Amino acid sequence: MIFNTGAALLDAIVLAVVSWTKDGTYGYKITREVQQLIDVSESTLYPVLRRLQKDECLEIYDRAIDGRNRRYYKITGKGYAQLNLYKMEWLRYSQKITAIFEGGQSVG
């Protein structure tokens, strides 16, 4: 993708991906899901997960899988609220950009 992905958009994408599963999901799977959407490295995503956890948008827990602990991330109530804010902002932003591309006029 030729467009840069800023921190807020990356946070929104990660929150959306984690919200797909009620019980949360693990870091490697989050990385793979996000990488199907945008070009981002694994080393970029783990700091995002830590920041979202620090901001209380995600909670973490460990689960034993095949004798090894796997760290899971689950979206919190605060995370859902933040995701909804991101969705509303994205809708407004994308409508403005689309309007410019399609007719040269901004919206709102």
- Structural domain boundaries in the chain: 7-103
Q: Long-range contacts: 71-79, Cβ < 8 Å, 24+?
A: 71/26, 71/27, 72/23, 72/24, 72/25, 72/26, 73/18, 73/24, 73/25, 73/26, 73/27, 73/30, 73/49, 74/18, 74/23, 74/24, 75/15, 75/18, 75/19, 75/24, 79/15, 79/18, 79/19, 79/52
**To the nearest whole percent, how much of the chain has pLDDT over 90?**
73
Q: For residue range 26-68, what is the model confidence (pLDDT) as tens digits?
A: 999 999 999 998 888 889 999 999 999 999 999 999 988 888 9
Q: What is the pTM of this model?
A: 0.87
Q: Provide CATH code, domain 7-103.
A: 1.10.10.10
Q: Which has the higher per-residue pLDDT, 10 or 104?
A: 10
